[in-house]
Amino acid sequence: MKFEELKKCLKQRIESRYLIKGRDIYLQKRAVGLIESMAEIELPELNTIKISDLDIDCDNVVAALNTPPVMSDRKMVYMDVSLKGIKLRNVDTLAKYLSGNNDTSILVINIGDMEELPKGIDFCTFCIVDCNELSNDVAIKLLELEAKKLDKTITSSAARLILEYTNYDLMTSINEISKLANYCTDKISEDDVSAMVPKTPVYKIYELTEALAYKKMDKVYEILGDLKSKKGGYTGLLALIYSHFRRLLHMSIAKLTVAEYANLFGIKEYAVTKSMQQLKLFKPKKLKEICDLCIALDYKIKTSQTTPNNAIDMIVMIITS
């Protein structure tokens, strides 16, 4: 199920096993919090056990699950296995536990954006919660509610702009609402967002791509100047440009859905939608030429045959020619 469906499902029935998966850390935390609150777990300091480590002994997990709740109908054991390089020991003990049933203990396993499920665990009996990305309307509504908590209002267009600037990272977007609330007297507008919210490098690449496609050179050099003024200058910019145009090239050849592209590239669906909008700006042959150039320039930078500054100038010249 999608995250936005979770609350409704919890009202109907509390399951004993949940699998949290997806890239958005804010949604992961909200999902766990919703399960805990809707399950009406009393004395959470005693009845909510959180296990997060690079080395998890499943014997301890099962022991926690089999321990009766204290002055509460239910308890929850949260197991975070989303960390890279995590090691699970005695998985067979957990597998044996899952073959039975325990209505007083809720097991929540968070795998984050892991592509492969932990081996040895049968997830067929788990209720899966997709925490990849909220729909556009729901995300905007969330920011409006966050502004309301701070006695502010925000226009839908301003909320949408924050999401775009932050590449739809909800945690960052909510933090930006908090900062804007201190800056604005009453209503948060698009102008306030433009003035106060920093654009992620990913968003700037979108802007740069469109400016290059339409040969708006003043805009191109304004964006490049801003990127160059940041710590590290152009270091890493070539990789961002190559990654973006490589995705465009792939999308010009393969015909997949937005969700399939998001899973393939490991990016948010918003980023896929934005890329699809830019796909019409370039022919496949031009995209291939740009990608080949990026690879060649990367090699020249690494072998000291050119500098990052000269490499970016070369890309600008080729794309706008």
Contacts 24+ apart (CB under 8 A), 229-236: 233/308, 233/309, 234/308, 234/309, 234/311, 234/312, 235/308
Q: At what angle do helices 237-253 and 258-265 cross, to 10 degrees?
A: 140
Q: What 3-state DSSP class applies to 208?
A: helix
Token pair 């592209």: residue: 261
What is the model's pLDDT at position 232?
A: 66
What is the pLDDT tens value at each position of the chain, 321 positions in all? 999 999 999 999 999 999 999 888 999 999 999 999 999 999 999 999 999 888 999 999 999 999 999 999 999 999 999 888 888 899 999 999 998 888 899 999 999 888 777 788 888 889 999 998 888 899 999 999 999 999 999 999 999 999 999 989 999 999 999 999 998 888 999 999 999 999 988 899 999 999 999 999 999 999 998 888 776 667 788 888 999 999 999 999 988 998 888 888 888 888 898 999 999 899 999 999 999 999 999 999 999 999 988 999 999 999 988
CA angle 82, 84, 86 (to 5 degrees): 80
Q: DSSP letter at 103?
A: T
Q: What domains does the chain contain, in order, with CATH numbers? A: 3-130 (3.40.50.300), 136-196 (1.10.8.60), 201-320 (1.20.272.10)
What is the sign of the dihedral through the CA atoms of 204, 207, 210 and 216?
Answer: negative
